[in-house]
Amino acid sequence: MPCRPSGRGGRGAVLELRIAHLYPRELNLYGDRGNLLALADRVRRRGGEVRVVAVGPGDPFRAGEVDLVFIGGGQDREQRWIAEDLLRQKGRELVAAVRDGMPLLAVCGGYQLLGRYYRTQTGEKIPGVGLFDAWTEAGRQRLIGDVAVETDLWDEGRRTLVGFENHAGRTWLGPSVRPLGRVLRGHGNNGRDRAEGVRWLNAVGTYLHGALLPKNPLLGDWLILAAWRRKYGLARLEPLDDGWEWTAHRAALRRLGLAAG
């Protein structure tokens, strides 16, 4: 069924989602690229069009040419490579775009680089762009395993998110942001305060790999709707048949000893 916006896009127009994929060669762990495939699939099943723009080191980030931003995870070495480029070339416009309502999804290393800083196990301090009021310091043991999180991201009530985490960083949140959710199983941001991820305006940071979105279709739709609400004034999305996605979601919950949510 074609998407037919009732807002600024004009009735009958096909909706388009333009995604900026930051550092696709440097930051892509545990199937993070699958998040883009999931977003594209959800847009196309609604009759929309998708365009993914790869933005690497040295490339300009032009906020006016995209509707949504994705950045995946990477090791300390890759984070060190791109930190200055992210901070000097892209950070200011990226922060301004998110402050203006642009949706963003950042996973693991990308999440860490969008905070104030990441201090590695050797004590090196990698500067972040400060988009999130958060900071990360590496611990001695990695936090690894399946994760389930309860979140109130939707007005309809609390829902679960599932994924896989593998990180040495312990992330702590400042007072101006909220966690994405509360950890039901797993470690989350730091293994201590039961917080997982971060949310600020329409931007989400998380340690959930997987890829995240194929097993959490509601989060994918939350990002798409945020983009199309900002671009076209769209109020809601038509539901999709997500039978396979929810089967995978419930299987992850059962593996963690939790009832299907």
Active centre residues (catalytic)? 108, 209
Among residues 106, 219, 224, the alpha carbon closest in space to that of 169 is found at 106
Outline where the chain has alpha helix (H). Answer: 34-45, 76-85, 91-99, 109-113, 217-232, 243-255
Residue that the structure tokens 């305006």 belong to: 201
Asked if 225 and 237 count as a contact pair (C-beta separation under 8 A), the reply is yes
Q: Which two tokens stand for residue 20?
A: 């900026």
- CA 96 to CA 202: how far, in whole Å? 12
- CA 224 to CA 228: how far, in whole Å? 6
Asked if 106 and 206 count as a contact pair (C-beta separation under 8 A), the reply is yes
Among residues 69, 93, 43, the alpha carbon closest in space to that of 224 is found at 43
